[in-house]
Chain A
């Protein structure tokens, strides 16, 4: 077990390095950050811009820039005055992503990490409830399908899942807004707010926040549900056909116990892997949702930074999220091994 964990950890580190290469290449292709740098005034030009480039290490050859990007340039002397020689006593100021320095926002001059930390809790507030809802509803529908495969209810739910799978997420968001915010208001019913995270004209109560969360969470839930239902239904039907289920039924176990213990447990195991694999797409879907609902999460920060040319923030989010994905996959792999007695590590499970 320890060997397996160590090997997976090592693979994770290698993966992170490859990801960092790809992201660095991307960061490089965004062009010269100094050209975007602003303090509310025009970007620096001429001599001032050259001085900044040297301080950031942007005058260096590519491999060196990658090194600076990873571990910073505060350990090396830099050529501050541009005479071609390094200057005594003047070091760079970057610390590099490996040492927790995600750079400084070109627009607000705040550390990137702070800007992301501001938004991360908001995004989690959307994601965690929608994940919990998806898992609960999926298992509910799965049980219905398992009880009576092919029944009318099963068919209706499966077809709905099929259609939901094809709906673009903005379609779901806009339809929900149109019904529950626009039309409900016209009909004089209690309606939900369209945008934002809290209503600033009212006291900042949890109720205020929750009212704003309902529609975006519902949208994220619906768009994910389809894929999960498809998957869980298939794996439940797979399990139900097994011999040991017939055995369990024939020895007189109550149906509740058969489904709860013998069907759901093995059928739900692959869900763990799916949740881990799906993390990236959930974060992606959240960009659209957050944009439509003007919800101040990470997705909206990403989009705004991209449009403003604030590339350190863009890269910071990409690095953070990709690392989170790699870690999540590692954890789900390990959880799977731990939970599923059928997976053996002896054969180098993979």
Chain B
């Protein structure tokens, strides 16, 4: 699922460069449509939250079981008569939040490790890169499922913004984040290796700058574009991974819906209620496409 993507030599992000990047991004048709699509999805989630209360998500109505899409229930209802649209709205928030935070964790782990490996080289580099290789040879979904099972009871359920969320939300953020850092660390390492050999870094060192200062002020800023691009692609990947793990029953647990766990039951009802998977699955696909286009657009304009 991880594809090698080529990235050009990174350049620092100065204010003037941000302007040129924005201009270039705006000229890229697909990148702009990706941004519009994502905005539309987020708007749908926000407006939906204003319309549906958290009670609507759990309200069962046995007179409307497996009802097809109608004016009252635009996405239909599920096998206990819950409103699929309300669930898609609240489930989408969980899915997007998990993806976003997981990609933050990925960057927070991957970027420092890549910097350290590329800057200090030697045994630090060997240890980090061997670890990355080892983790990459364990099939990701298998690893995620096993980790999720091992951490099943690690976090207690909690309340957030008046909503009851399962502790599995935190588990998923952590495990998807922590298993995704390897490709980023490799990219950052490669770019740090070449940056650390450049004259301005030597100059900084000659002026007496310490390692921490060189890493923070002279190398990290130059890898920012890599981090932004990879971070966005990691978020798209995280949406898919969360949905797979939840679909298989080891991800986000009730009471909170997520796009993945909503589809879980739809296999049994495939001949009766196709709307059960069509709407959450479609929303998920649109989100992944839009983030992918944004990521590609950023890569081309940075």
Contacts and interface: CB of A to CB of B under 8 A. Distances in A.
Nearest to A170: B247
Contacts, number: 136
A168 B238 CA distance: 11
A223 to B, nearest CB: 9
B106 interface: no
Nearest to B154: A29
B51 to A, nearest CB: 26
B285 A284 contact: no
B140 interface: yes
Given A166-B289, A287-B145, A15 B270 contact: no
Nearest to A31: B150
B248 A318 contact: no
Interface in A289-344: 291-292, 302-303, 306-307, 314, 317-318, 321-322, 325-326, 329
A163 B281 contact: no
Interface residues of B, number: 45
Contacts of A314: 146
Interface stretch (B116-124, B130-138, B213-221): B130-138
Contact of B270 (A194, A227, A284): A194
A165 interface: yes
Interface in A175-206: 177-178, 181-182, 194
A168 B281 contact: yes
Nearest to B296: A162
B263 interface: yes
Contacts of A283: 139, 141-142
B183 to A, nearest CB: 11
A281 B140 contact: yes
Interface in B15-33: none
B252 interface: no
Contact of B137 (A19, A30, A317): A19
A30 B243 contact: no
Interface string B130-170: 11011111111111011101110000000000000000000
A284 B142 contact: yes
Interface in A150-183: 162-163, 165-171, 174, 177-178, 181-182
**Which interface residue of B135, B141, B277, B281 has the most chain A CB atoms within 10 A?**
B141
Contact of B244 (A168, A177, A322): A168
A280 B182 CA distance: 15
A162 B289 contact: yes
Contact of B141 (A167, A178, A287): A287
B209 interface: no
B267 A174 contact: yes
Given A22-B134, A287-B142, A314-B146, A231 B270 contact: no
Interface of A: 14-15, 18-19, 22-23, 26, 29-30, 162-163, 165-171, 174, 177-178, 181-182, 194, 227, 230-231, 277, 280-281, 283-285, 287-288, 291-292, 302-303, 306-307, 314, 317-318, 321-322, 325-326, 329
Given A231-B4, A287-B248, 16 more contacts: A18-B134, A19-B138, A26-B150, A166-B236, A167-B285, A168-B244, A174-B270, A182-B270, A227-B1, A231-B3, A277-B4, A288-B247, A303-B145, A303-B248, A306-B250, A314-B146
Interface of B: 1-4, 130-131, 133-143, 145-147, 149-151, 236, 240, 243-244, 247-250, 263, 266-267, 270-271, 274, 277, 281-282, 284-285, 288-289, 292
14 contacts: A18-B133, A19-B134, A19-B137, A22-B138, A29-B150, A162-B292, A168-B284, A171-B277, A174-B270, A174-B281, A284-B140, A287-B141, A288-B248, A306-B145
